[in-house]
Chain A
Amino acid sequence: MGKAERGALGQSTELPALGSGLGYRRVHRGELFLDRRGIDFLEIVADHFMSADPAVQSELALLQAHFPLIPHGLDLSLGSAEGLDPAYLDRLARVVEAIDPPWWSEHIAYTRADGVAIGHLAALPLTREALDFLCANIHAAQRRIPAPLILENITTPFRLPGDELTEPQFLTELTERTGCGLLLDVTNLLVNAANLSFDPSEYLDQLPLERVVQTHYVGWARRGDTWVDDHGSETPEPVWELLAEVAARCPLRGMVLERDRNIPALAELRPELERAREIGRKAGRWD
């Protein structure tokens, strides 16, 4: 897949190294502008900026004036066998166009089917059929949005029987067929490894590591005997260790702290951002 292909990645090392980024949450707005040091870029939830409300659009313009921005979509439902929602794709495309980012990201998941919105990311079966639908939808998204797309691994507490591929095989073929990069959520990887009983290092060994452009990291929670990516606590040691391994082995261009619950003051998150930057720096991913 050549670099000129719309929405495809080319060589990920040709993308700018953004460094240590933060998932933007509105509660941090004041603090962010009081002290921008230590935040190399922001990942924004594209869905939160689709409104034509002038207040929302001026917020976007303000963020854009001060930080590199990476749009992260939640509800494109790339895995929907019924195809993409053209109106949603259009709204998403307008947000991405307004930002003109080095890349944007979405999930390997479906969020709606037959008029029902699930309100969350649901896992695809690891089958050839699912892969075909996913690739067709990604090609449609790439035709509409020329910026390179990177795809994120999600968590799932269970898998239905009938898988034909392992997840790394699925991701390898997916990236080859679409030219997309990967957004490796290391917390999600460890949560799945714990819930579905597999070895995260073996998973990593089988992944197309040269395709990994960005990571997500954050804390997790345990509910009953299930691990949950609740995005609600400080990043734990096993996640830092895996992040360091990923930084050493993949041509990372950015890492994003993805805190969504129990959001503390920004000052409390800064040490995590600093630690991530240091991991990337030590691995030679940025200065």
Chain B
Amino acid sequence: MGLAREQALLARLFVDGSYRDRFFADPATVGQEANLPAARIAAIGRCEVEIRAFAHSLIHKRLVEIRGLLPATERALGDRFGPLARTYLEQHPPGGLDKPAEDARGLSRALAALPDGEVPPWISELARYEGSRLIEAAGGLGVLPRLVVYRFPVVNLQRSLLRGDPLGTPRPRLTLVLEPAHRRRA
């Protein structure tokens, strides 16, 4: 009858990076809360290499999928996209019906919320804009579109990045974008 508890422990080890580190540092102690026989915890503890590899492959798969959904943000961030996205994904288990879109929206919100200086403000704004264009999989469009203000010309920036145009240093310019209102998921 331990399968439900074992699946709960494994699922957490697969998706939660900080729990994974704590568990493998001391499986016997940290694994106690999983309420499984000590021998089973020890057996899982001995599979550290395999479980870590599986967890990394899940992150890799999610990363590949969000790259395709936030292409302009990825180009704007260049080499920094991978590490930032990885850090975000490690801390946020997948969710929702359309998991790649959910990941991409979450990452774009997280990038937009980074304090100024972490990433250039125009990239924060671009990430917020690009993420907002991904429509809720299970929601559908709401009735009323809404007007959203950006501090940079995000529409042009996205277009230029996707075409591969040289950007220079983008200057702030208040930009209004009409966005479809996303209905909350049922």
Beta-carbon contact of B140 and A52 below 8 Å? yes
Tell me the residues in window 148-180 of chain A with beta carbons closer than 8 Å to chain B beta carbons: 157-158, 160-162
When distances are taken between beta carbons in the complex, the residues of chain B under 8 Å from A110 are: 7, 11
Distance of A118 from chain B, by nearest CB (Å): 5
Q: Which chain B residue has the least Cβ–Cβ distance from A162?
A: B43
Chain B: residues with CB nearer than 8 A to chain A? 1-4, 6-8, 10-12, 14-16, 40, 43-44, 47, 50-51, 53-54, 57-58, 61-62, 64, 93-95, 97-99, 135, 137-141, 186
Complex CA distance for A261 and B65, rounded to whole angstroms: 9
Beta-carbon contact of B43 and A161 below 8 Å? yes
Distance of B151 from chain A, by nearest CB (Å): 31
Beta-carbon contact of A117 and B99 below 8 Å? yes
Complex CA distance for A228 and B62, rounded to whole angstroms: 15
When distances are taken between beta carbons in the complex, the residues of chain B under 8 Å from A53 are: 135, 139-141
**Other contacts beyond A114-B11, A125-B6, A158-B53: 13, CB < 8 A:** A53-B140, A53-B141, A112-B11, A113-B4, A113-B7, A117-B15, A118-B15, A119-B58, A119-B61, A119-B94, A122-B7, A122-B11, A158-B51
When distances are taken between beta carbons in the complex, the residues of chain A under 8 Å from B16 are: 116
Beta-carbon contact of B15 and A119 below 8 Å? yes
Distance of B65 from chain A, by nearest CB (Å): 9
Beta-carbon contact of B97 and A47 below 8 Å? yes
The reply to whether the CB of A54 lies closer than 8 angstroms to some CB of chain B is yes
The reply to whether the CB of A133 lies closer than 8 angstroms to some CB of chain B is yes
Complex CA distance for A118 and B50, rounded to whole angstroms: 16
Complex CA distance for A203 and B67, rounded to whole angstroms: 37
Complex CA distance for A112 and B4, rounded to whole angstroms: 10
Beta-carbon contact of B3 and A160 below 8 Å? no
Beta-carbon contact of A119 and B62 below 8 Å? yes
Q: A80-119 vs B: 1/0 string, CB under 8 Å?
A: 1110000000000000000000000000001011101111
Beta-carbon contact of A160 and B44 below 8 Å? yes
When distances are taken between beta carbons in the complex, the residues of chain A under 8 Å from B40 are: 162
Q: Select one of B10, B97, B186 contacting A113, CB under 8 A.
A: B10
Q: Which chain A residue has the least Cβ–Cβ distance from B103?
A: A119
When distances are taken between beta carbons in the complex, the residues of chain B under 8 Å from A118 are: 11, 14-15, 58, 93-94
